[in-house]
Amino acid sequence: MGTIRKVLVTGGAGYIGSVAARLLLRAGYAVVVVDNLYQGHRAAVPPQAHWARVDLADKNALRAVFAQHPDVDAVMHFAAYTLVGESMAQPLKYLRDNLVNACNLLEVMLEHGVLRFILSSTANLFDLPPEHQDQPITEEFPIIPGSPYGESKFFVERVLHWLHRTHGLKYVSLRYFNAAGALPDCGEDHDPETHLIPLVLQVALGQRSHITIFGDDYPTRDGTCVRDYIHVADLAQAHILALEALDTLGARHYNLGNGTGYTVKEVIETARRITGHPIPAVIGPRRPGDPAVLVASSERIRRELGWAPQYPDLESIVRSAWEWHRAHPNGYED
């Protein structure tokens, strides 16, 4: 199918997509960023990337981008609604829009003969019963989405499966666990912010009075949810490895995490140590859609693609996030 030179990155103004765009550029690829700035920031898009403010709901606008860049060889699809909690309150926004937007993108790709695709999928596919919860989650575990958000990602995986069979689409679905951390010039700035590490760091910056822990009665070592945190640069690197292996892989799914789970309380404690701030915590009710434990087995991607995280420990992940938040206390508004 030839060499990959130009990659279209949807959601490339968002947290993970903007880091992937940078790493792609550093690796020598040309990059086209497509984003409607629903959550993303124009300032997060690397200056060397081509930029198109387009909503994936607008197929004609997407067609114009592909017509302007007929040399796009592959697509990395980060753009989506991403909030588990919101998806429990507004399920159709997720079940419909995440699916339709991905289908629009795939339809326009097929029209232009672009047959390489990498999906941002999620650990929310694995809301597993208790007997599965004390072992790292492999790709063989049953798919039990924990929310309409997770279900919407599974829908898209099914679409990819069928387009592989019907049209020879080559795809990799990367099911990431909790993305965290920052590059010096590229960090996490969501509104609303729902992710634990940036919220905790906002307390350390004096922007919030306390952090709320959603439930301390889960069946875990300290009663709070266990999650597997993965540095955003390690995630982005996995995308590049997947891109380079896409033509030989054909169709593949990988779970992506560090294989170590940390409780919410342990994350807060780590942030206290790194920031020197007491970070007061308050216990609140459970958040609907949150599984108790999510820890990845990434053996498959390590073995098949040689993925090796550079920041496997929570300490270095939180430290990199803290450095970014301290330097950009108002996020990309600075």
Binding residues vs ligand NAD (CB under 6 A): 10-11, 13-17, 35-40, 55-57, 78-80, 82, 101, 120, 122, 176, 178-179, 190
Using the structure block, give the residue that is written with the tokens 């007061």. Answer: 280
Cα–Cα distances (Å) from 17 to 21, 79, 213, in that order, read: 6, 8, 28
Smallest distance, ligand NAD to C-beta of residue 190, A = 6
38 an active-site residue?
Answer: no
Smallest distance, ligand NAD to C-beta of residue 119, A = 8
Cα–Cα distances (Å) from 287 to 146, 147, 274, 292, in that order, read: 12, 11, 27, 11
Q: Which is nearer to ligand NAD, 277 or 300 (CB)?
A: 300
* Residues 186 and 44: beta-carbon distance below 8 Å: yes
Q: Which is nearer to ligand NAD, 239 or 319 (CB)?
A: 239
Smallest distance, ligand NAD to C-beta of residue 196, A = 10
Q: What does the DSSP assignment read for 101-146?
A: HHHHHHHHHHHTT--EEEEEEEGGGB---GGGTTS-B-TTS--B-S
* Distance between CA atoms of residues 296 and 38, nearest Å: 29
Smallest distance, ligand NAD to C-beta of residue 311, A = 15
Q: Which is nearer to ligand NAD, 39 or 133 (CB)?
A: 39
30-35: which pairs have CB atoms within 8 A and are 24 or more residues apart? 30/5, 30/6, 30/71, 31/6, 31/7, 32/6, 32/7, 32/8, 32/65, 32/69, 32/72, 33/9, 34/8, 34/9, 34/10, 34/62, 34/65, 34/79, 35/10, 35/11, 35/79
Q: Which is nearer to ligand NAD, 124 or 166 (CB)?
A: 124
Q: Which is nearer to ligand NAD, 190 or 302 (CB)?
A: 190
Q: Name the nearest CA neighbour of 100 among 130, 123, 80.
A: 80
Smallest distance, ligand NAD to C-beta of residue 276, A = 26
Catalytic residue among 15, 94, 149, 254: 149
Q: Which is nearer to ligand NAD, 112 or 277 (CB)?
A: 112
**What backbone phi and psi angles, to 5 degrees, belong to 64?**
-65, -35
* Residues 77 and 159: beta-carbon distance below 8 Å: no
Smallest distance, ligand NAD to C-beta of residue 70, A = 21
Residue nearest to ligand NAD (CB): 14
User: Which element (helix H / strand E) includes 171?
Assistant: strand 170-176
Catalytic residue IDs: 149
